[in-house]
C-alpha cells in the first residue's frame, strides 16, 4: 500500500465523459466532473485506508479496510457497495449498485498514478502526479 500513499493531483483525463455517461451521471454533473481537478490523498495503517478527495466542487473522505465491502456515497450521490483490494501492483476498487458494476484500478509508476475506470466496454483513464 505504501506506493499509493501520498497526495496526488489530477493532471489529465481521457474518455471520462463517456465513462460518466455509462455509469448514469446526468449532463449537468458530467460538466462539473469534466472540469474539476481533484486532489487525492491516500494514507494507510496496515489494511485500514483513508482516501480523501478535495476539489473546488466537493470534498469527500472514505475510511475502509482492504478486502471488506462498505457503503459508499459517491461524489455524484450514488449509493454503492464498494470494495478495495491490492492486486499485485494495483489498488483495485469495485463499486456495485442497482445491478451495475464498475472497476477503478489505480497503478503507480514513478511520480504518476493512472486510474483506469471501466464499466462494460467503456474505459477512461485519469492521470495523477504526486505532489
How much is the pLDDT for 54? 95
CB-based contact 123:17 (threshold 8 Å): no
How much is the pLDDT for 44? 97
CB-based contact 115:108 (threshold 8 Å): no
**pLDDT tens-place string over residues 29-58:** 999 988 999 999 999 999 999 999 999 888
> What's phi and psi for 2, nearest 5 deg?
-55, -35
> What's phi and psi for 51, nearest 5 deg?
-125, 120
What separation in angstroms does the CA of 77 have from each of 69, 91, 97, 126? 18, 23, 12, 20
All three cell numbers of 113: 498514478
Q: How many CA atoms lie within 13 A of 67 on its CB side?
A: 5
> What's phi and psi for 112, nearest 5 deg?
-120, 145
Tell me the whole-structure pTM to 2 decimals. 0.94
Instruction: Output Rg (C-alpha) for the chain, integer angstroms.
Output: 14
Instruction: Check residue 111 and report its DSSP letter.
Output: T
Whether pLDDT at 76 is above 90: no
Angle at 34 between CA 30 and CA 39, to 5 degrees: 120
Neighbours of 85 (CB within 10 A): 12
**pLDDT tens-place string over residues 10-34:** 999 999 999 999 999 999 999 998 8
> What domains can you pick out in the chain, each with its CATH number?
2-130 (2.40.128.20)
Amino acid at each position: 500500500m505504501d506506493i499509493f500513499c501520498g497526495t496526488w493531483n489530477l493532471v489529465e483525463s481521457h474518455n471520462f465523459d463517456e465513462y460518466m455517461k455509462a455509469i448514469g451521471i446526468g449532463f449537468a454533473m458530467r460538466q462539473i466532473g469534466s472540469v474539476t481537478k481533484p486532489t487525492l490523498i491516500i494514507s494507510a495503517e496496515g489494511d485500514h485506508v483513508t482516501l480523501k478527495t478535495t476539489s473546488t466542487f466537493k470534498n469527500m473522505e472514505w475510511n475502509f479496510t482492504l478486502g471488506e465491502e462498505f457503503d459508499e456515497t459517491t461524489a455524484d450521490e450514488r449509493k454503492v457497495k464498494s470494495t478495495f483490494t491490492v492486486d499485485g501492483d494495483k489498488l483495485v476498487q469495485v463499486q456495485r449498485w442497482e445491478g451495475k458494476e464498475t472497476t477503478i484500478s489505480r497503478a503507480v509508476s514513478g511520480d504518476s498514478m493512472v486510474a483506469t475506470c471501466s464499466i462494460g466496454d467503456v474505459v477512461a483513464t485519469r492521470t495523477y502526479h504526486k505532489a
